Amino acid sequence: MADKYPTEKLKTWGEAKDIRLGYYKDFAEAHEKGGLRWAGGAWAFDAVPAGLGDDVHSLTGEPYAASIAFNKEFSDECLEATEKYGFARDLCSYMRNYWGSILLNKYNFGGEFPKPDFIWTDHICCSHAKWYQVAAELEGGVPYYCIDVAVGPHEEADENRIEYIVGQLHDGIEWMEQVTGRTYDDNKLIEAVKNEFRSTSAWAETCALNKAIPAPLDEKSMYSLYVLGTLMKHSKVVADFYEKLRDETKDRVERGIAAVPTETTRVMTDTQPPWAFLRVFRYLEQYGCVSIGSLYTFGLIGLFEVKEDGSWGPKTTPMELGTSITNRDEALTELVKWNLAKPEWQHFYSPKYKSDMMIRIAREWKLDGVLLHYNRGCEGLSLGIAENRLALQEAGYPVMIFEGNMGDEREFDEARTMGRIDAFMETLGIMKEV
Amino acid sequence: MIEMFKEWFDARHEYAKEWKEKTGGKVLGYFCTYVPEEILYAADVLPVRILGSHEPQDVTEPYIFGMFCPFCRDCLAQGLKGRYDYLDGIMISQSCLHIRQAYTSWEMHIPVPYSYYLPMPNNVQSPRALPYLVGEMEKFKKSVEEWTGKTITDDDLNRGIEIMNRNRELMMQVYETRKGEKPPLTGLEAMYMVVSGQMMHKDDHSSTLEGTLKELDGRNADRNVGQRLMIIGSEDDDTEFINMVEGCGATLVVDDHCTGSRYFWNTVEPNGSPLEAIAQRYIDRPRCPSKDWGERSRLPHIMKLAKDYNAAGAILVQQKFCDPHELDIPAIKNELESNDIPTLFLELDVTVPIGQFKTRVEAFLEMLMEEDLF
Enumerate the residues of chain B whose CB falls inside 8 A of the CB of residue A129: 122-123, 293-294
pLDDT of amino acid A434: 57
Task: Give the whole-angstrom CA distance, residue B44 versus residue B33.
Answer: 18
Enumerate the residues of chain B whose CB falls inside 8 A of the CB of residue A351: 101, 104-105, 108
Question: Helices in A342-396 by DSSP H: which ranges?
Answer: 343-346, 351-364, 385-394
B323 closest CB neighbour out of A85, A127, A160: A127
Of B232, B234, B236, B246, the closest CA to residue B187 belongs to B246
Enumerate the residues of chain A whose CB falls inside 8 A of the CB of residue B127: 171
Residue B106 near residue B78, CB atoms below 8 Å: no
pLDDT of amino acid A49: 98
CA angle B227, B231, B236 (to 5 degrees): 135
Q: Is A84 helix (H, G, I), strand (E, B) or coil?
A: helix
ipTM score assigned to the predicted complex: 0.96
Of B19, B17, B268, B9, the closest CA to residue B163 belongs to B268
CA distance A150 to chain B (A): 7
Strands A36-40 and A118-123: parallel
A-B contacts at Cβ under 8 angstroms:
133
Of A258, A254, A280, A260, the closest CA to residue A269 belongs to A280
Side-chain-side CA neighbours of A396 within 13 Å: the count stands at 6
Question: If you ran DSSP here, which 8-state letter would residue A7 be given?
Answer: B
Residue B54 backbone zone (phi > 0: left; psi -120 to 50: alpha; other: beta): left
B136 closest CB neighbour out of A91, A137, A160: A160
The 3-state secondary structure of chain B reads: CCHHHHHHHHCHHHHHHHHHHHHCCCEEEECCCCCCHHHHHHCCCEEEECCCCCCCCCCCCCCCCCCCCHHHHHHHHHHHCCCCCCCCEEEEECCCHHHHHHHHHHHHHCCCCEEEEECCCCCCCCCCHHHHHHHHHHHHHHHHHHHHCCCCCHHHHHHHHHHHHHHHHHHHHHHHHCCCCCCCCCHHHHHHHHHHHCCCCHHHHHHHHHHHHHHHCCCCCCCCCCEEEEEEECCCCCHHHHHHHHHCCEEEEEEECCCCHHHHCCCCCCCCCHHHHHHHHHHHCCCCHHHCCCCCCHHHHHHHHHHHCCCCEEEEEEECCCHHHHHHHHHHHHHHHHCCCCEEEEEECCCCCHHHHHHHHHHHHHHHHHHHHC
* Cβ–Cβ gap B129/A130 under 8 Å: no
Task: Give the whole-angstrom CA distance, residue B225 versus residue A37.
Answer: 55
Distances (CA, A) of B184 to B6, B134, B223, B252: 16, 40, 9, 12
Q: Is B13 on the interface with A (CB under 8 A)?
A: no
Residue A216 near residue A257, CB atoms below 8 Å: yes
Residue A164 near residue B133, CB atoms below 8 Å: no
Side-chain-side CA neighbours of A221 within 13 Å: the count stands at 23
Query: Which of A126, A127, A381, A406 should one mutate to test binding to chain B, selecting the residue with the greatest count of B CBs within 10 A?
Result: A126
Mean pLDDT by 10 residues, chain A (434 residues): 93 98 98 97 98 98 97 96 97 98 98 98 96 98 98 98 98 98 98 98 98 98 98 98 98 98 97 94 95 98 98 98 97 98 97 98 98 97 98 98 96 94 94 72
CA distance A271 to chain B (A): 14
Residue A370 near residue A293, CB atoms below 8 Å: no
A386 closest CB neighbour out of B62, B129, B289: B62
A130 closest CB neighbour out of B98, B135, B293: B293
CB proximity list for B170: less than 8 A, separation 6 or greater: B206, B209, B210, B213
Task: Give the whole-angstrom CA distance, residue A113 versus residue B139.
Answer: 47
* Cβ–Cβ gap B107/A350 under 8 Å: yes
**Nearest residue on chain A to B109, judged by CA atoms?**
A387
Neighbouring CB atoms inside 10 A of A266's CB total 22
R_g over Cα of chain A: 21
Mean pLDDT by 10 residues, chain B (374 residues): 94 98 98 97 98 94 96 97 98 97 98 97 98 98 98 98 98 97 97 98 98 93 95 94 96 97 97 96 97 97 98 96 96 98 94 92 94 67
Distances (CA, A) of A115 to A109, A141, A230, A344, B278: 14, 11, 20, 29, 41
* Cβ–Cβ gap A130/B329 under 8 Å: no
Q: Is B121 on the interface with A (CB under 8 A)?
A: yes
Q: Is B114 on the interface with A (CB under 8 A)?
A: no
Query: Which of B59, B128, B138, B349 should one mutate to test binding to chain A, selecting the residue with the greatest count of A CBs within 10 A?
Result: B128
Task: Give the whole-angstrom CA distance, residue B340 versus residue A282.
Answer: 56
CA distance A128 to chain B (A): 10
Chain centroid offset of residue A375 CA: 15
Question: If you ran DSSP here, which 8-state letter would residue A229 be given?
Answer: H
* Cβ–Cβ gap A168/B327 under 8 Å: no
